[in-house]
Amino acid sequence: MRKNLLTLAPAALLLMAAAGGAQAASNAQMTITANVVAATCDVSLSTTNLDLGNYTPSQFGAVATPIAASVKPFTVGLSNCQAPLAAGDTAGLVVSGQTLGGNPNMFNTTGTNTGIMLSQVSAPAAYITNNQKLNVATAGSTPAAGDFNTKTLSLQAGLASTSTTADLGAVSAPILFSFAYN
């Protein structure tokens, strides 16, 4: 009997070690979000990638002012909209993304002192800030889906810096355009 216990001891130790390793596994957590809104629209972009080009530090003449040659237009539109609930209700877009510290209107995720500045083509010097809501359309006196459907905003993006001495390196600015009702 003693001999059998000694032969089984290594196997038992192996099983206990394997069980101990299984207990050390990590956990995972996910955050899931959603919104309940009075009406919805799909948001679309005229392009999902916009290359503003290559520039040297000497081309940055003013702080927080896009290089004129870098400014490129694009549009954001609404489609598949439900009918607004009431006359005067508004369809908007919330613009959000990571910005440079102390510069809520310069979008960038790469850590340089350069970023992307956005504005409406109709107001090129009024730069859009992170989480700003832009009005796209207003419901008429008899609300209908057509009040919001196919409405667009003409925007433009340009490369700017927080300094007249721009850092070398790539600039990346993932920007989210979310539908906002009222």
pLDDT at residue 178 in the model: 94
Residue 174 lies in a domain: yes
Number of neighbours of residue 70 by Cβ within 10 angstroms: 20
Residue 141 lies in a domain: yes
pLDDT at residue 160 in the model: 97
Element (H, E) at 76: strand 72-79
pLDDT at residue 33 in the model: 79
Residue 157 lies in a domain: yes
CATH of the domain at 133: 2.60.40.1090
Residue 60 lies in a domain: yes
pLDDT in tens, the chain (182 residues): 455 545 555 555 555 555 555 567 889 888 887 878 778 899 999 999 999 999 999 999 999 999 999 999 999 999 999 999 999 999 999 999 999 989 999 999 998 999 999 999 999 999 999 999 999 999 999 999 999 999 999 999 999 999 998 999 999 999 999 999 98
pTM score > 0.95 for this model? no
Q: Domain range holding 84? A: 42-181
Residue 47 lies in a domain: yes
> Residue 120 forms beta bridges with which residues?
123, 155
- Number of domains composing the chain: 1
pLDDT at residue 117 in the model: 97
Residue 12 lies in a domain: no
* Nearest residue to 147 (alpha-carbon basis) of 93, 85, 99: 85
Residue 28 lies in a domain: no
Distance between CA atoms of residues 56 and 65, nearest Å: 15
pLDDT at residue 13 in the model: 52
Residue 97 lies in a domain: yes
* Nearest residue to 150 (alpha-carbon basis) of 64, 81, 60: 81
